[in-house]
Amino acid sequence: MELKFLRPEEVPVSLAALRAVANANGSVTPSEQSLLELVAEMHGSKVDAELPGVSPSEVASIVTDPHRRKRLLQIAVVMAMVDGDVAPEQERAVRTLGRALEIDDGSMKVLHDVANESRLLTRVHLLRRLMGPFASEVKEREGLAGVRKLLAPAFGGGEDPKMAWRYKQLGLLPAGTVGRAFWEHNTRRGFAFPGEPNGIPERMVFHDFGHVLAGYDTDAPGEIQQGAFQAGFVRNDGFSFLLFVIVQFHMGIKVTPVAEAQVGLFDVRKVLHAAARGGACKMDLSTWNHWEWVERRLDEVREQFAIPPLLQFGRDRSSAGA
Q: What is the 3-state secondary structure (H, E, C) of 22-56?
A: HHHHCCCCHHHHHHHHHHHHHCCCCCCCCCCCCCH
Alpha helices in the chain (DSSP H): 11-22, 30-42, 56-62, 66-81, 88-101, 107-115, 119-142, 144-151, 161-168, 178-189, 206-214, 220-233, 239-249, 268-280, 298-304, 315-318
Residue 297 belongs to some domain of the structure: yes
Q: Which of 117, 144, 176 is the last residue of a domain?
A: 117
Q: Does 266 share its domain with 160?
A: yes
pLDDT at 316: 39
Contact by Cβ (8 Å): 212, 182: yes
| Residue with more model confidence, 198 or 182 | 182
Whether residues 161 and 265 share a domain: the answer is yes
The pTM of the full predicted model, rounded to 2 decimals, is: 0.87
Q: Could you tell me if 119 and 84 are in contact, meaning their C-beta atoms sit under 8 angstroms apart?
A: no
CA 64 and chain centroid, separation: 25
Task: List the domain range (segments joined by +) for residue 72.
Answer: 8-117
- 279 with 169, same domain: the answer is yes
Of 117, 150, 177, the position where a domain reaches its end is 117
Are 143 and 66 contained in the same domain?
no
- pLDDT tens for 271-283 read 999 999 999 999 9
* 3 within a domain of the structure (yes/no): no
Q: Distance of CA 126 to CAs 39, 178, 304, 307, 316, Å?
A: 25, 31, 33, 28, 34
Name the band, by pLDDT with cuts 50, 70 and 90, for residue 133: low
Higher confidence at residue 200 or residue 94?
94
74 and 143 part of one domain: no
Are 23 and 145 in the same domain? no
Amino acid sitting at position 218: T
**CB-CB contact of 274 with 309 (8 Å):** no
Query: Is 142 domain-assigned?
Result: yes
Mean pLDDT of the region 128-144: 73
Q: How confident is the model at residue 152, as a pLDDT?
A: 56
- 22 falls within a domain: yes
Residues 255-311 have pLDDT tens digits of: 887 778 899 999 999 999 999 999 999 999 999 999 999 999 999 999 999 999 987
Closest by CA position to 22, among listed 3, 36, 5: 36
Q: Is residue 2 part of a domain?
A: no
Q: How far does CA 106 lie from the centroid of its chain?
A: 15
The total of structural domains in the chain comes to 2
* Type of residue numbered 175: A
Split at pLDDT 50, 70, 90, the class of 200 is confident
Please check the confidence at residue 37 and state whether its pLDDT lies above 70.
yes
Q: Is 196 exposed, middle or buried (0-12, 13-18, 19+ CB in 10 A)?
A: buried
**CATH code of the domain covering residue 43:** 1.10.3680.10
Given this model, what pLDDT does residue 321 score?
30
